[in-house]
Structure 1
Amino acid sequence: MEFGSPLPEVVEVLAAGFGGRELIDWGGVALRLTGITALSPPGFSSGRAVLRTVTPVVMKGSGRGEDGVRATRQDWLLPVEPEWAGYFQGNLRRKAESLGIDPGVSLESVTWIGPKRGFRVGQGVKPGAAVEVEVSGAPETLQALWSWGLGQANSAGFGWIAA
């Protein structure tokens, strides 16, 4: 099981909380804790990264039809749809801004798209697909994205990047 955060303080608290436990009750499943390892993100000194997710990336779109009129509030996009890249890049920049780091990150290309998958979260189903993307930006920003995940609903397990 992996947990991640772009904030080292959060990771330290998680490690301390789990460190004193032998078992974790995860939704009724007993998980035996055998060790904790903190992983540091890659350096990304070139300012470029290829990030591949192991869980679907979910991204909400505008909900507007071709006529520009809003048709729905829950407009989940897949990586093959025209709005996806713009909303995805905006999400990357908002994450950087919320951490107070360089928001000059760019989606260069989507190099792989996995099959569509949907998971029930709360009151509905969130559809998405695992992706591999090439992004560019400041090394610190790329490290934070590696630790945070791609797309939306990362705290629910979406957009987790393969270590």
Structure 2
Amino acid sequence: MPEVVEALAAGFAAREVIDWGGVALRLTGITTFSPPDFASGRAVLRTATPVVMKGSGRGEDGVRRTRQDWLLPAEPEWAGYFQGNLRRKAEGLGCDPGVSLEQVTWIGPKRGFSVGPGVKTGAAVEVEISGAPETLRALWSWGLGQANSAGFGWIAT
């Protein structure tokens, strides 16, 4: 990722103000953080921003009720969809997909954000996950849940 950060830093340095979705941001510096080594194969990760996970949209009877079913960490489907998301990210990055959610150790308050014509709902979380150290480092850098590029699920350092 250092190459990406260097390219972003060069682009940002040429600007005084960045317009991020209508919010004016003044960038005063960029600092890179190296991920922990996670040599033990375990990580406790807490997000600085809410994690969003879309569920099946099906009720208890199995009938689909909605297309946009945003789940909160305490809801029954959340852990399964979160686990699948971790594995898809690992596979997409060419890392060992044998990553597991061990437990959710903290859940922040529910937050909803207008995104386009809809609202994404989520909550910040702290989770304990296990897997290959390389995979854990990649997840630390990428973030947890869906819509990371939109600012969701970023890991607190």
Letter in 1 for 2:134: E
Q: Show the counterpart of 1:151.
A: 145
What are the Cα deviations for residues 4-49 of structure 1, in whole angstroms up to 9, with x where unaligned?
Answer: xxx5543332223223334333345443332221111111111100
Query: Are the equivalent residues in 1 in contact too, given 2:101–2:127 (CA < 8 A)?
Result: yes
Q: Show the counterpart of 2:46.
A: 52
What's the TM-score, normalizing by structure 2?
0.92
The structure-2 alpha-carbon separation of the partners of 1:28 and 1:126, relative to structure 1 and needing over 3 Å to count, comes to: closer
Query: Are the equivalent residues in 1 in contact too, given 2:58–2:64 (CA < 8 A)?
Result: yes
SS in 2 for 1:94: helix
SS in 1 for 2:107: strand
The structure-2 alpha-carbon separation of the partners of 1:78 and 1:29, relative to structure 1 and needing over 3 Å to count, comes to: closer
Which whole-Å CA distance do the structure 2 matches of 1:59 and 1:29 have between them?
25
User: Shift in Å at residue 72 of structure 1?
Assistant: 1.2
The answer to whether 1:134 aligns with 2:135 is no
Which whole-Å CA distance do the structure 2 matches of 1:108 and 1:75 have between them?
24
CA RMSD after TM alignment:
1.5
**Unaligned residue ranges in structure 1 (runs of 5+):** 1-6
Q: Show the counterpart of 1:36.
A: 30
- What is the identity percentage for the equivalent residue pairs of Structure 1 and Structure 2? 87
Which whole-Å CA distance do the structure 1 matches of 2:25 and 2:114 have between them?
22
What are the Cα deviations for residues 96-153 of structure 1, in whole angstroms up to 9, with x where unaligned?
Answer: 1111111110000000011111011111110111100000001111111111110001
With 64-73 and 24-33 compared, the bigger mean Cα shift is at 24-33
Which whole-Å CA distance do the structure 1 matches of 2:150 and 2:24 have between them?
19
Letter in 2 for 1:153: A
**Unaligned residue ranges in structure 2 (runs of 5+):** none
- How do 1:60-79 and structure 2 match up within 5 A? 60-79=54-73
Q: Show the counterpart of 1:95.
A: 89
Which whole-Å CA distance do the structure 1 matches of 2:29 and 2:22 have between them?
21
With 93-102 and 35-44 compared, the bigger mean Cα shift is at 35-44
Query: Are the equivalent residues in 1 in contact too, given 2:2–2:32 (CA < 8 A)?
Result: no
The answer to whether 1:21 aligns with 2:15 is yes
